[in-house]
Structure 1
Amino acid sequence: MVTELGGYGSEPGQFIWPSGVTTTLDGNLAVKDSGNQQIQIFSPDGRHKQGFSYGMESERDFGDVACTQDGLILVTDGSKGIKVFSKDGLMIHLLKCLKSDWNHSYGIAAVKSSSIAVTDWTDGGKVHMIGVDWRMNAILKMNVINGLNRPEHIAVNKKEEILVTEGQLFGHQQGRCLKIIDNERILKKTIGPRIDNKFSFINPSGVCVDSHGNSFVADEVQNCVVMFNPDSSLTVKVVTQDLEGPAGLAVTKDGLLAVADCYHHRVKLYKYKQS
């Protein structure tokens, strides 16, 4: 661990239940502080820069934060909508589609300049691929990937493949894996529950991808972070101590792994070997 941000509280720079983290266009870290219903922004060296409210939370610890290629900050909170903010924290729009069956936004990722992906627990679980006209703040089209089990966080790699973690579905043994969906939106690979003779997922949560194509998955029950190489042939636990309920993950522009350590009310940054 290189450094940690936050600590329990409601003062600027403090958190209650941080559930999501992402990098902004400027290289800052944006943290979804679920208990305080705020997005908090930190510089790459860990200095608190600003915070702004995103409104009431629909469900405790329910939702995520992402940043578009144009610098817009997107927030989900469990409701049927995505809140769109400028980089300065001004709310621009509530993005939603009344005709869809998209009921419970959870994890969110920017796929490309005009498209985002959102996980939804409706009917067991699905992912919505949403095409957006940001100038008009309007949804142009929506495609649905069905057949998932309690999909939580979501990430996108350079091939525009979707990586989705599946937690346990209300105590059942479904899910408990990482699913990779190719750019044709067809399931390409399922990793887990059992990965090798030494490790099995129990409740995977946060997921992110670094610039080399390595992927990281947090398990909020086992309090660890696992790294996979690009073809998933090698697996290693990269964080195994001092976490309690790790949620969102991100890789900074400096190549540090940021972990939203939810029940320690901190974001912890780790240095790791990327080659």
Structure 2
Amino acid sequence: MDYTLETTRKKDDLLRAVRSLQVKSENTLQKASPLLSYHQGLGMVNESHIHQLTEKTKDICHDLEDIKNLLCFRQNDLVQQIPNPDAHLYGGVYGIHCSLDGIVYVTSENGPWVHLLNRSGQSFQSLHCVEWNRRKEYFFPEDVTVTRSGLVAVTDMVNGAVRIFNPHSKFSKGKWMKIGKFDSPSGIAVDSMGRILVADYALGKVHLFAIDHAFKVLSVQTLSGLHGPRYISMVPDGGFAVSEECRDVKLFGSNHKMSGSISEKYGHQFGNPAGLCADSEGNLIVADEQQRKVFLFPPSGSPICLVSEGLRRPTGVACSVFGLLLVADAGENCVRVFRYRVKPSSMAENPRLAAENPALSPREMLS
């Protein structure tokens, strides 16, 4: 923490301003409450005064909410840069997902691999994206996620399919299962019920469905009315968000009905929204590929720019359980790791996670 004279002065000024508002409001409430309890207790206060006070109160509350949010987050605090394991062979790093056990899944443009990275950024496993039919056929994953049962799911835009990898399979071949038939599947996510969500780019749709133990698609639901949906992310309230190419980020409630958009709710204008994710506190984080920035949209308050420099082409973003933000930068062909919170949420030791993921040592998981 910075204890320089200038920083101390700023803290003092902020504390004094907040304390002054608190004392004034408490004093006013104590004096006004008894008077307002009487039938004739309005005195000379008229409708205009009440309206003015209401509007000023809204502004002050909004400003205080913004100050609280700004106190919680950092900007451009780069802590690590992880090179793409396929940097010498394929295009830039593209899709990214961070599971609850801290493992990072990364895909590359035109690369037939899904790489698994531990918290230190080292690749400890690579899933070869190949389908064994009569002959060996490669496919190129667009985006990646992990189901509640630990299955790795990717979108295959070229072949119009979703591919599922079962890490528990005992066989060396045929681990990738091809399910569904889509026009141009792009982003992929898993909702709170364990269903898979797929953004269908060309058709402007989002498909929701479940899969059984035999990888059979069940209970398909399709939502339409989107324009070039690219990435999709769940939010803690049970809804989800979808980024539209060169347009906006649409918001859906837990009932799967569109509830609005980022531009409507926050008055924010994107260049080209790409990857998005939500942290445990309900903050939605979006990478703007055109503006080369990453923005955070809190449940209440104004947007915050988390990353404003150093990015060339941010495509995907993911939040880790360790309070870090991972940004897939296709332009630099790397994953940039940022500390975006002033006080990151701590992750309690979980013996089950350590047992299920030997690639992560206890020190790596808890440091």
TM-score using structure 1 length: 0.85
- Contact 1:107 1:119 (C-alpha < 8 Å) held by counterparts: yes
Query: Equivalent residues in 2 for 1:23-102 (5 A)?
Result: 23-55=98-130, 56-57=138-139, 63-78=142-157, 79-87=159-167, 91-97=175-181, 102=182
- Alignment of 1:223 with 2:292, yes or no, is yes
State the 1:224 CA deviation. Answer: 0.5
Q: Hey, what does 1:187 align to over in structure 2? A: 258
- Alignment of 1:246 with 2:314, yes or no, is yes
Q: 1:113/1:182 Cα in 2 relative to 1: closer, same or farther (>3 Å)?
A: closer
Q: Hey, what does 2:184 align to over in structure 1? A: 104
Q: 1:204/1:88 Cα in 2 relative to 1: closer, same or farther (>3 Å)?
A: farther
- Contact 2:233 2:240 (C-alpha < 8 Å) held by counterparts: yes
The residue matched to 2:331 in structure 1 has which SS? helix
Between structures 1 and 2, the one with greater helix share: 2
Partner amino acid for 1:206?
Answer: G
After superposition, the CA RMSD in angstroms is: 2.3
The residue matched to 1:263 in structure 2 has which SS? coil
Q: Hey, what does 2:50 align to over in structure 1? A: none
| Unpaired stretches in structure 1, ≥5 consecutive residues | 169-175
State the 1:25 CA deviation. Answer: 4.8
Q: What is the number of equivalent residue pairs in this alignment?
A: 254
The residue matched to 1:22 in structure 2 has which SS? strand
Query: Equivalent residues in 2 for 1:96-135 (5 A)?
Result: 96-97=180-181, 102-123=182-203, 125-133=204-212, 135=213
Larger radius of gyration: 2
State the 1:162 CA deviation. Answer: 1.1
Q: Hey, what does 2:278 align to over in structure 1? A: 209
Q: 1:152/1:239 Cα in 2 relative to 1: closer, same or farther (>3 Å)?
A: same
Partner amino acid for 1:230?
Answer: P
Stretch of structure 1 that moved more, 250-259 or 34-43: 34-43
Partner amino acid for 2:234?
Answer: V
- Contact 2:145 2:190 (C-alpha < 8 Å) held by counterparts: yes
The residue matched to 1:206 in structure 2 has which SS? strand
State the 1:130 CA deviation. Answer: 1.2
Q: Hey, what does 1:273 align to over in structure 2? A: 341
Partner amino acid for 2:238?
Answer: E
Q: 1:252/1:236 Cα in 2 relative to 1: closer, same or farther (>3 Å)?
A: same
Q: Hey, what does 1:171 align to over in structure 2? A: none
- Contact 1:34 1:57 (C-alpha < 8 Å) held by counterparts: no
Q: 1:167 aligns with which of 241, 245, 251?
A: 245
Q: 1:257/1:236 Cα in 2 relative to 1: closer, same or farther (>3 Å)?
A: same
The residue matched to 2:214 in structure 1 has which SS? coil
Distance, in Å, in 1 between the alignment partners of 2:334 and 2:167 is 22
- Contact 1:8 1:15 (C-alpha < 8 Å) held by counterparts: no
| Unpaired stretches in structure 2, ≥5 consecutive residues | 1-77, 131-137, 344-367
The sequence identity of aligned pairs, in percent, is: 27
1:18-43 Cα offsets, whole Å, 9 max, x none, are 11111235321010122322111110
The residue matched to 2:149 in structure 1 has which SS? coil
Distance, in Å, in 1 between the alignment partners of 2:216 and 2:85 is 37
- Alignment of 1:151 with 2:229, yes or no, is yes
Distance, in Å, in 1 between the alignment partners of 2:243 and 2:223 is 14
The residue matched to 2:256 in structure 1 has which SS? coil
Distance, in Å, in 2 between the alignment partners of 1:200 and 1:227 is 13
- Alignment of 1:264 with 2:339, yes or no, is no
The residue matched to 1:258 in structure 2 has which SS? strand
1:171-216 Cα offsets, whole Å, 9 max, x none, are xxxxx111110111111121128954xx620110000000111010
TM-score using structure 2 length: 0.64
1:252-274 Cα offsets, whole Å, 9 max, x none, are 11111011101210011100126
Higher relative contact order (CA 8 A, sep 6+): 1
State the 1:87 CA deviation. Answer: 3.8
